[in-house]
Structures are given as structure tokens and as C-alpha cells.
Amino acid sequence: MFASVLVSGLVLGGIYSLVGAGLNLIFGVIKIINFAQGALLMFGAYFSYWIVTWLGIDPYLTLPIVVAGMGLLGYLIQTTLINPVLKQERTSQLLITFGISLLIQNGALALWGPDIRFVKSFVGYNTFEFLGIRIGVSAAIAILGASIIIFLLFVFLNKSKMGTAIRAVSQQSDSALLAGIDVKRVYAIAFAIGSAMVGVASVLMIPIYDIYPLMGEQFGVIAFIVVVLGGLGNVQGAAIAGVFLGVTQNIFAVYVSNQLSVAILFLIFLITLLFRPQGIFIRKMRVS
Amino acid sequence: MRMRKKKSTSEPTSILTIPGLQSAGWPAFLGIAVILIGILAFPVAFDIRFYFVQVGILIMFYATLGTAWGIVGGYAGQHSIGQAAFVGIGAYTSTLLYMKLNISPWIGLIAGMLLSALIAAVIGYPLFRYGLKGDYFALGTVALGLIIFELTTSFSTITGGSQGIPLKYEENPLNFQFPNRTVYYYIIFIMWILTVFTSYKLRRSRAGFEMLAVRDDEIAAARGGISVLKAKLTAFILAGVISSAAGTFFAQFILFLDPGTVMSLGISVQIILVAVLGGMNSYLGGTLGAIILIPVSQFLASTFTERPGTDIALYGVILIILMLFMPNGILGLFRKSPKWRKIVGW
Amino acid sequence: MASSILSIQNVKKSFGGLDVLKGINLEIEQGKITGIIGPNGAGKSTLFDIISGYQKANEGKIIFEGKDVSKLMPHLLARQGVIRTFQLTRIFRNLTVAENLLVFASNSKNKKGNSNERAIELLEFVHLSGLINAEASTLSYGQSKLLEFAQVLMHSPKILLLDEPFAGINPGLIDQMMEHLRKLQSEGLTIVLIEHNLPMVAKLCDSIAVVSNGVIEMHGAPDVIVNDSRVKEVFLGGH
């Protein structure tokens, strides 16, 4: 019994890691809080849902379309809405992503109604046994998928040319500018990647979770917790933090209280913000 | 430290005064007086349907909240996204004290304000102490708002959970309830005036100056001897206390309380929008924003009843457009003019 | 016997793996103008940060007027009279020029005279009187540097740490500023100055300290320092 709680905690954690890593990337590179991250997750879920409904294909097969679409959307959002306000005071950037999240979330509510939808994949509710534990196939796909993507992100950031550019910009955008890097383009790509990761997360999760307009809210906020816990710009940290939070939440939900399971995460969040804001994994920085 | 105020003459020393209404001269004072009398007379003047009085109450309610937000978000530059938490704290504190312990909501009002001050101090101190980027503060307030919301919903035996609490109706002014509903109009009027006045005075005071400096450049402010922590914390606590009082008022007015009504993200959004639309750096910003936005929101809410969420989606669009083209709000449009700044207090 | 108003004792600072300051020992004499020179990246601004409280040293102490101020927050140091400027000028962009000065009107324990008058006087001195109501964001680079200069003087500081105060200012005004600094010095102000222009530093300062490789390589009278072969080598004869 505990094992299955652990497994579903890992699934949740995988989703959190993906969404959180994407958010972390955006936060680390562009230095803005993307309030719309959760809304984007919901958007990806609906995107996939509509493709499944219209084309009749399996949800997992929508992955390339959703990823490409979300990446494009992210690129567009950054270039049309965020790059213009980068020179302004920070309020504008904060509130614009907040406005985007309101628009996407409530737009979905207005357009598609509050009804819960769901999709079924070819794996259905099949399970298999692994080391004596019964695991759902879709759960296994989710966990595996999340791990692969995080790994790929890590490789990309550290080994590829664009990845290095991204890291350069996130550390010192002025010097990067001087080195000839098109900073605004890097921003757009970072946002695109952040959105694409959310797209992957949404495809992985819809065979398991319900789809409804406000689904992103919880994930969006928890993504912040992942970022804060894992440490700014720290991809591995975000991954570990995401898994930790997912497992913790699930354990708490099953063994203590379902209602309070999210509250406990917020509490962890607040405590981290208050006492160790640089995250668990970054060495304590001297602050001025 | 007192600043010497001088009348507007052509002497150089007179220029070093802080923006104030005096420079607008007596026509402005006359205008203000007329407007205020108009507002006061409004409910009783033309046999108006109470619906309009109610809209007036809502406008002043949000004007109060928006002005309070302007203190922490505009003056001090700390963007509190979850400000509705304090509205909720005020509302629930006074209501619970009233329903469970029979304590008059007038006292509950004070209790709520004290509690809000405490929570703001407790949350604000670590967030501000380490000089973190202001973004962490915004996140912190989001977390605060959500936690308070969740806690209120979860401890339903005490708080009535998501079902809410209907308030005992006792028609007793001592219990902050009035048979003549118009009285509420005048109460919120007083709250609104007091809030605007506080914001105005703050802007002209040393404390206000320090907040502005901190907003513009914390590091420069610190080397000037300003305690960044104190400036931010003062703003945050003040905004929280005002919001709390408004929350208590609201609970007493609608006589029903549930988390969605007083502390939802939607409320926070409206507060921010009101403040930003009007111009968050001006003590008049919240008021202007409320005058424009609240009737619009009433219209939206009644028009799109079959499609819930449309109104907030539109708020999102408005927010985006504002940030792209008018980030300083309406009052900020003329901020380059020194005379305008003096009156509006940019 | 000259008294030391500021004593920097074995200050070390590293970032990540990089050791920027490897043990700075420096005594700043009260009432004198001390220049600090050194190659770029030698850690001069970091040293200022540590003295003024913006960063904490990994090791070592800062003693000001006999008190250990190593752990104080920047605003408390400012109130004690330790005032600094920044390499990249910092002013309050959304406030007017007048307000920029008034913000600093009275937080020091050392207040002399009336703030309004003082502000006007200073504004005249830096030729910004005409822009008294202009928003600070509209000022040119040179003008904002001058505004910052006026700001720090509002405070009646006891010690002034100036980080490249003359960069970008026209020479005529530089002379006036230097004269004003000397006047303040004669009234008891201690000044520490980071500059790259060697002849200028030699003209103005009573002593010069050379920061290189994370330590004070030399500290002495200007003519000694300026003529030292190693210094000449490092600076290629100054600018």
C-alpha cells in the first residue's frame, strides 16, 4: 500500500519537477516570475485533449504537436509581451505574467466551461509488476518521461552551444550581451523551452489526472515552491525538490488529510522562503 | 523632521517643498469640497434606488483597498499579490469573535487590525530582512494568500469552511449593524477618506520619502542612512491593517462570509487592478481605479453570467494592456509635469 | 601623532573559488585624503562594499572611530557618518532632483545647519539649480554623478568613500570639486578615493595606497608612490 502511495507520489513529483524546472529556467534566465506557468500546463492539457478529440489519436501521440505548439506559444509570449516590458520597472513584468495567467485560466473557463474532462490512452489502466509492486503503466511512463526530459535539459544546458549561451545570460546578461549573444533571443528560447517542458508534463499527466480549467493553479504555485526549494537556476535541485514535494504531498494526503495536503506544501514554502530562501541545495550566499 | 512649507513664490527656497494640494490653490479645494458634498448627499438626494448606493459602497470599498495597496506596492515598491489575505483576516476575525464569543464587531475590527499587523510583521520581517529581490516578496504574499485560504476552508468546524458563515442579524449599532443600510455607505465613506488622507500624509512625510527612495534604489537608500527593512515593513503593515479594517466592514455589510467572498485570488486581482489602473504611486490612484473598474466589473458580472470566468479573463487582458502601454496608470500619464505631480503626489 | 579614523584589519574576501581580497591591512588617517589605486578587478570596490556594510568580509575587521563596525548594516554605518558613492551612479530616478537631496536630509547624527538651505547651496555648487524640479531620470550621466556628489555631502559625513567620482565630469568642474573636497577636509572630513587617473590622485591626495593581488602592495606619500617603478609598470605611467 505504501508502495503505491510512493509511486503516485513519484508521478506527481515528476510533473512538479518538469513544471518547476521550466519555471526555474525562466526565472533564472529572464529573471521574472512566470505566474502563468500553471496556466500553461492547463493549456497544454486542453491542447492535447482537443487534438485527441478531433483527430482520435492516442494522447501520448500528441506529444510532438503539443511540445512544438507550447514552445511556439512560449516564444511568442516572450517576444510580444515580456521583452517589451523588460526595460520597465519590475512591477510590469510581474503583473504581465499574472495577467497572462488570468487570461489563459479564465479564458479556458469561459470558453470550455468548468466541466471535468478526461482522456484515455492506449495503455488504459493497465498495470504491471515491478519488484513486487504494482505500478500503473501510465504512471511508469510519466515517471520515465519526466526523468528523461530533465536529463535532456541538463545535457542541453551544459553541453550545447545554445545551452551555454543560456547559462551565460542567466549569470551575467551584461557580459553576455558584450560577447555578442542576442540576449532577447535567448530569453525567448528560454521561455519557449520552459513552456515546452510544461507541454510534456501535460501530455504525461492527462492519462492519469482530470482536466479542468483550474487544474493549473495548484501546479503553478507548487512550481514556485519547487523553484524556491531547489534553488534558483539549479536544474538538479528543481528536479529533486519536485520529487520531494510530490511524494510528501501524496503521503500527507493519504495518511493525514487530503484537504490539508496542499496546505502542507505551502507551509514548507513559507518556511523555506523565510529561513532559507536561497533553497536547500545552494550553499548559503552572503547577501548585501 | 519637519519640512518647512513655503507658499509658492519665485524664491528658490520655495521649490524645495514636497508635493501638496496647497499649490493647486483654492479652486482645487472648492472642487474637492463640492465633490465630497456630492458624495455625501448622493444616497439621500434623489430617492435613488439602493442598488446604486450599493455600487457606491463597493466603489469606496475597493478605493480603500486600492489606496492601501498603493502604499505597499506603489510607495514602497513591494508588490503584494495576495493582499486579499488581510481582507479575509479582518473579516473572519471580527466575525468569529462575534459569532462565537459575542464580542462586538467594533472590537473585532480592532482585533482584526492587530492580528493583521502581527501577521504582516511576522511574514514581512524575514522576507525583507535579507534584501531579497522583491519577487520573493510577491511569491510570499501569494503563498500567504493561499495558505490562509486553505486553512480557512479546512478548519470548517470553526470557520464554516467553504460553506461560509452567515452572520447573526441583530440590528444593533453597537454590533456594527444598522437597520438603515445607507449607514454603511457613510461608514465606508469615512474609511475611504481616512485612507486617502493617510496616504496623502504619508507621501508628504519623511517615512513616505524613505519608502519612495527604497522603491527606487534600495542600495542607495541604505547608504543614505535609511533602514530599508523599516520602510518596507511599515508599508506592508499599514496596508495590511487598512485592508483588514475594510474586510471587517465588508463582512458586516453583506452579513455573510465565505473564503471566496473575501479572500480569493479574484479579490486580490481586483485590488491590484484598481490600484494599477488608477496609478499606484498616487494617493488618488486607488480611488480613480475603483471609480472606473467597479462599475465595469458589475457590468461584466451581470452580462456574462452563463460564462463564469469571462470577467476575470478580461481583467487579465486589461492588466496586460495596462502593463504594456500604461504601466503607471491613468494618473501616471502626466507625471512629467511638476504641477501635476504636486497635486496628484506622484 | 596622526590618529586613524578607519582601520581595516586583515580583511579577506572570496567569491566562489576566487580570492579577491587576501588580507587587506590599511589605516586611514583622520582628516586626510587617501587615494586607492590599483588595476581593474583588484577588489577596490569590494573593499568599499565591505567598509560600508554592503558585503561582509570572510575574515578580518573594520574599525571605525574605535568601534568594530564589521557587522553593521549599511544604513547604520551611513548614520554613523560613513558615506560612499558607487562606481555606477545610484540616484533615485523617479524622484526630482530636489527630492533626491531631501531624502538624505537628516538621518545622520552629525546634522549641521538647515536642510533646505544646505540643499540649495549644494545644488548651486554642482550647477543643478535649474533642474531642481526635474525628474532625476532625465539627467545626463555627468549630471547624475554630480547629483550623487551633492547627495553624499548633504549628510555631513565623517568619512567619505568616493568610488571614481570624477569619471565623466568636465575638467573645470573636477577642479571645483577637488577644491570643495579640500575645503571639507580642512573642516575635518576624511576622504578615501578610488581613482584611475594617477596624476589627479597624486595632486589631490595626502597618501596613496596601492591595491594589487588582493593586498596593499604599498602605502605612502604621493611622490613616493608615483615614482615607484613597480607602480609605473602596472599603470604604464598612468593615463
Q: Do C103 and B15 touch (CB under 8 A)?
A: no
Altogether, the residues listed in chain C come to a count of 239
| Backbone φ, ψ for residue B329 (5° rounding) | 75, 180
C-alpha cell belonging to residue C121: 547651496
The minimal CB distance from B1 to the residues C86, C106, C132 is found for C106
Measured between beta carbons, the chain C residues lying within 8 angstroms of A286 are 55-56
Mean pLDDT computed over B87-116: 91
In chain C, which residue's Cα lies nearest the Cα of A288?
Answer: C54
- Domains annotated for chain B, with CATH where assigned, are 26-276 (1.10.3470)
Please indicate if any CB of chain B lies within 8 Å of the CB of C95.
yes
**Cβ contacts of B131 on chain A, cutoff 8 Å:** 287-288
- Which of A32, A33, A109 is nearest residue B309 as measured by Cβ atoms? A109
Q: Is C57 found in the same domain as C131?
A: no
Cross-chain residue pair B12–C104, CB shorter than 8 Å: no
CB B143 to CB A94 under 8 A?
Answer: no
Which has more confidence, B190 or B175?
A: B190
Report DSSP letters for A167-221, one per residue: HHHHH-HHHHHHTT--HHHHHHHHHHHHHHHHHHHHHHHTTTS-B-TTHHHHHHH
- C138 and C20 within one domain: no
DSSP for C4-43 reads EEEEEEEEEEEETTEEEEEEEEEEEETT-EEEEE--TTSS
Task: Give which of B229, B307, B324, B346 to mutate to test A binding, by max A Cβ within 10 Å.
Answer: B324
CB contact under 8 A, B127 and A262: no
Per-residue pLDDT, C111:
46
3-state secondary structure of B320: helix
Q: Measured between CA atoms, how close is B331 to chain A, in angstroms?
A: 16
Å from C55 to nearest chain A CA? 5
Do residues C26 and C61 both lie within one domain?
Answer: yes
The answer to whether A249 touches A12, Cβ cutoff 8 Å, is: yes
Chain C nearest-CA residue for B228 = C75
- Structural contact between residues A38 and A217, judged by C-beta atoms closer than 8 angstroms: yes
Over 50: is that where the pLDDT of C36 sits?
A: yes
- The answer, for A285 touching chain B at a CB cutoff of 8 Å, is no
The number of domains in chain C is 2
Mean of the per-residue pLDDT values for chain B?
A: 83
Is the pLDDT at B18 greater than 60? The verdict is: no
Say yes or no to pLDDT of B112 above 70. Answer: yes
A256 touches chain B (CB under 8 A): no
A residues 105-134 closer than 8 Å to B (CB): 105-111, 114
Dihedral, CA atoms, B63, B64, B70, B76, nearest 10 degrees? 180
Query: Which positions in chain B touch C155 (Cβ < 8 Å)?
Result: 224-225
Q: Which residue of B has its CA nearest to A260?
A: B154
How many Å apart are CA A135 and CA A154, to the nearest integer? Answer: 27
Spatial separation of the C-alpha atoms in residues B173 and B175, rounded to whole Å:
5
Chains A–C, number of C-beta pairs less than 8 Å apart = 6
The CATH number given to whatever domain includes residue C68 is 3.40.50.300
Q: DSSP 3-state helix, strand, coil percentages of chain A (rounded to 5)?
A: 75, 5, 20
Is the domain of C113 the same as that of C53?
Answer: no
Q: Residue A114 — φ and ψ, nearest 5°?
A: -85, 0
| C53 & C99 share domain | no
pLDDT at C2: 60
Q: What is the dihedral of CA B223, B228, B229, B230, to 10 degrees?
A: 110
What is the CATH architecture of A2-275?
Orthogonal Bundle (1.10)
Distance CA A192, CA A30 (A): 12
Q: Flag whether C176 is in a domain.
A: no
CB contact under 8 A, B126 and A273: yes
**C49 → chain A, closest CA residue:** A288
C98, C119: one domain: yes
Higher pLDDT, A157 or C41: A157
> How deeply is A275 buried, as exposed, middle or buried, from its count of CB atoms within 10 A (0-12, 13-18, 19+)?
exposed
- C5 and C65: one domain? yes
Within 10 angstroms of residue C110's Cβ, the number of other Cβ atoms is 13
The whole-angstrom distance between B276's CA and the closest CA on chain A is 10
Question: Are A286 and C54 in contact (CB < 8 Å)?
Answer: no
> Which residue in B219, B304, B327 is closest to A91 by CB distance?
B327
Which residues of B make CB contacts under 8 Å with C? Answer: 1, 3-4, 12-13, 15-16, 18, 206, 209-210, 212-213, 215-217, 219-228, 281, 335-336, 338, 341
Q: How far apart are the first and last CA of chain B?
A: 21
Contact C155 B224 (CB under 8 A): yes
CA–CA distance, A202 with A181 (Å, rounded to integer): 32
Examine the pLDDT at B104 and tell me if it is beyond 60: yes
Comparing CA positions, the residue from A168, A212, A206 lying closest to residue A189 is: A168
Report the pLDDT value the prediction gives residue B10, as an integer from 0 to 100: 32
C132 contact B CB<8A: yes
Contacts of C55 in chain A (CB under 8 A): 286, 288
Residue with cell 495596462: B322
Chain C partners within 8 Å of A88 (Cβ): none
pLDDT tens string A198-209: 999 999 988 888
Q: Are C66 and C109 part of one and the same domain?
A: no
> Does the pLDDT at position B248 exceed 90?
yes
Grid coordinates belonging to C195: 581613482
What chains are in contact with B, requiring at least 3 Cβ pairs below 8 Å? A, C
CB contact under 8 A, B224 and C129: no
One-letter amino acid for residue B300 of the chain: L
Question: Is the Cβ of C215 closer than 8 Å to some Cβ of chain B?
Answer: no
pLDDT at C1 over 50: no
Residues of C in contact with B209 (CB under 8 A): 99, 102-103
Distance CA B210, CA C228 (A): 47
Distance of residue B289 Cα from the nearest chain C Cα, in angstroms: 22
Helix (H) or strand (E) holding C207: strand C207-212
Give the torsion sign (CA, C93, C99, C101, C104): negative
Query: Is C131's Cβ below 8 Å from some Cβ in B?
Result: no
ipTM score of the complex?
Answer: 0.83
**Residue with grid cell 590618529, as numbered in its chain:** C3
Burial class (CB in 10 A: 0-12, 13-18, 19+), A125: exposed
B95, B257 Cβ separation under 8 angstroms: yes
A217 against B277, higher pLDDT: B277
Strands (DSSP E) contained in B177-327 are: 256-257
Q: Tell me: the pLDDT tens digits for C124-147?
A: 888 888 888 788 888 888 888 888
Residues of C in contact with B222 (CB under 8 A): 53-54, 73-75, 78
pLDDT digit string (tens) for C151-165? 888 877 889 999 888
In a domain, C178, yes or no: no
Q: Which of A183, A268, A222, A215 is nearest to A21 (CA)?
A: A222
Range of the domain at C68: 1-81+159-164+190-239
CB–CB contact C75 B221 (8 Å):
yes
Contact C108 B221 (CB under 8 A): no
Helix H or strand E encompassing C236: none
- The answer to whether the predicted template modeling score (pTM) of the entire model surpasses 0.90 is no
Per-position pLDDT tens, chain A of length 288: 778 888 888 888 999 999 988 888 888 888 888 889 999 999 999 999 999 988 888 888 889 999 999 999 999 999 998 888 887 766 677 788 888 998 999 899 888 888 888 888 887 777 888 777 778 888 888 888 999 998 998 888 888 888 888 888 877 766 777 777 788 888 899 999 999 999 999 999 888 888 888 888 778 878 888 888 887 767 778 888 899 999 988 888 888 777 777 778 878 887 777 777 666 665 443 322
Consecutive H or E run containing A285: none
C-beta atoms surrounding A164 within 10 Å: 14
> B71 or C177, which is more confident?
B71
Is B126 in the A-facing interface, judged by CB distances under 8 Å? yes
Residues 6+ apart with CB under 8 A from A274: B123, B126, B127, B140
Does C208 share its domain with C223? yes
Q: Is residue C12 part of a domain?
A: yes
| Angle of helix A183-205 versus helix A161-171 axis, rounded to 10 | 110
d(CA B14, CA B3): 11
- Chain A residue with minimal CA distance to C57? A286
State the Cα angle at B42 between B40 and B45, rounded to 5°.
115
Q: Is C238 on the interface with A (CB under 8 A)?
A: no
Closest by Cβ to C103, choosing from B209, B281, B335: B209
